[in-house]
């Protein structure tokens, strides 16, 4: 199910949170990156019909979300950034309850709840109060509730914050598996999550799309601008105040830093291949510079 976002503007009072966003999101897994406050959650909430647009249009499967919010809701599974659970229910009761809200029959609920609990590996804990669940278990329960009713569109807002690496990878693999026939829109700060799973990505900054395309294309934005320099620890401050450091490590009293820079740092950097995260930093830095000059 395709999402088409056309010239979308969203204001909170006088504050413009989304400023002319246009994006097409196709089947598969689509990653949404951007710094804190970029507008990712706002964009997702508008798509889910939880919030009205100010101007512009969002179409899901060709249907305008403002004109027919019911259509989107029927086809949507949403995992919000902050998931408020009914803490005193157990997983079984909670999913059954959400199934009722989604209009599933008793038989459909019985079947789906059982399958989903198995899929997210919570069968063993299904009779425990969800208030006592760990962060990872809550995330998995969040997925299960989103998948009730077999939605064609799944929107996941920053799911992996607070998960240990093993849970993160399990979560990511589950989403990848789901994205086969569906559209999965995933927002995250963890560039590695995008790299491992998304075929398309957009970067949002200050309410505007500053990049949209393949992850490899994003990475190429840092081509020729990533340098590795070996420095003395005492040189670090100078490096950091002059250049954007993307990584650093110490080995036997010397420091190896990677920096994003147009020119060779200290005249003794070695050009190296960029990582995806550095491509992301390159596009963010470019727009920050423009904003400074404005």
Ligand X SMILES: Nc1ncnc2c1ncn2[C@@H]1O[C@H](COP(=O)(O)OP(=O)(O)OP(=O)(O)O)[C@@H](O)[C@H]1O
The yes or no reply on residue 188 touching Mg ion (CB under 5 A) is: no
Do the beta carbons of residue 155 and residue 47 sit within 8 Å? yes
The yes or no reply on residue 188 touching ligand X (CB under 6 A) is: no
Do the beta carbons of residue 56 and residue 6 sit within 8 Å? yes
Which range binds ligand X by CB under 6 A, 40-48, 66-74, 208-216, 247-255?
40-48
* Of 17, 144, 146, 282, the one binding ligand X by CB under 6 A: 17
User: What tokens does 93 get?
Assistant: 């009761």
* Helix (H) or strand (E) run with residue 145 in it: helix 135-147
Do the beta carbons of residue 12 and residue 61 sit within 8 Å? no
- Angle value at C-alpha 184, between 180 and 189, nearest 5 degrees: 125
Based on CB atoms, which residue is closest to Mg ion, 17 or 147? 17
- In the complex, minimum distance from the CB of residue 233 to ligand X, in angstroms, rounded to a whole number: 33
CA–CA separation, 153 and 78 (whole Å): 8
The yes or no reply on residue 179 touching Mg ion (CB under 5 A) is: no
Q: Find which of Mg ion, ligand X, none residue 37 binds, CB within 5 to 8 Å per kind.
A: ligand X
CA–CA separation, 190 and 172 (whole Å): 12
Site string for ligand X, 80-99 (x = CB under 6 A): -x------------------
# residues near Mg ion by CB under 5 A: 3
User: What tokens does 189 get?
Assistant: 């700060």
130 three-class SS: helix
- In the complex, minimum distance from the CB of residue 81 to Mg ion, in angstroms, rounded to a whole number: 5
Based on CB atoms, which residue is closest to Mg ion, 54 or 81? 81
CA–CA separation, 51 and 163 (whole Å): 28
The yes or no reply on residue 41 touching Mg ion (CB under 5 A) is: yes
The yes or no reply on residue 39 touching ligand X (CB under 6 A) is: yes
Based on CB atoms, which residue is closest to Mg ion, 149 or 159? 159
User: What tokens does 286 get?
Assistant: 């470019």
Q: Which residues bind Mg ion (CB under 5 A)?
A: 40-41, 81
Q: Which residues bind ligand X (CB under 6 A)?
A: 12, 15, 17, 34, 36-42, 81
């Amino acid at each position: 199910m395709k999402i088409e976002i056309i010239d979308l503007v969203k204001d909170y009072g006088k504050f413009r949170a989304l400023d002319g966003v246009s994006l097409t999101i196709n089947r598969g897994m689509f990653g949404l990156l951007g710094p804190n406050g970029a507008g990712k959650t706002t964009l997702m909430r508008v798509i889910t019909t939880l919030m009205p647009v100010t101007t512009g249009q969002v179409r899901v499967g060709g249907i305008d979300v403002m004109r027919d919010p019911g259509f989107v809701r029927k086809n949507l599974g949403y995992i919000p950034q902050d998931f408020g659970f009914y803490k005193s229910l157990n997983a079984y009761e909670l999913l059954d309850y959400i199934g009722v809200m989604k209009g599933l029959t008793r038989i459909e609920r019985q079947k789906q709840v059982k399958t989903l609990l198995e899929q997210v590996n919570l069968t063993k804990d299904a009779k425990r109060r969800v208030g006592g669940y760990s962060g990872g278990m809550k995330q998995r329960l969040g997925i299960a509730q989103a998948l009730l009713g077999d939605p064609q569109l799944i929107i996941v807002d920053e799911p992996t914050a607070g998960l240990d690496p093993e849970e993160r990878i399990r979560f990511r693999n589950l989403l990848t598996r789901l994205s086969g026939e569906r559209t999965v829109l995933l927002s995250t700060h963890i560039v590695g999550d995008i790299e491992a799973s998304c075929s398309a990505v957009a970067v949002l900054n200050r309410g505007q799309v500053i990049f949209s395309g393949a992850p490899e294309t994003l990475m190429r934005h840092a081509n020729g601008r990533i340098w590795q320099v070996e420095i003395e620890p005492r040189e670090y401050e100078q490096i950091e105040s002059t250049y954007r450091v993307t990584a650093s490590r110490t080995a036997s009293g010397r420091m190896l830093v990677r920096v994003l820079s147009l020119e060779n740092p200290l005249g003794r950097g070695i050009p190296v291949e960029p990582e995806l995260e550095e491509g992301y930093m390159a596009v963010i830095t470019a727009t920050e510079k423009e904003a400074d000059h404005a």
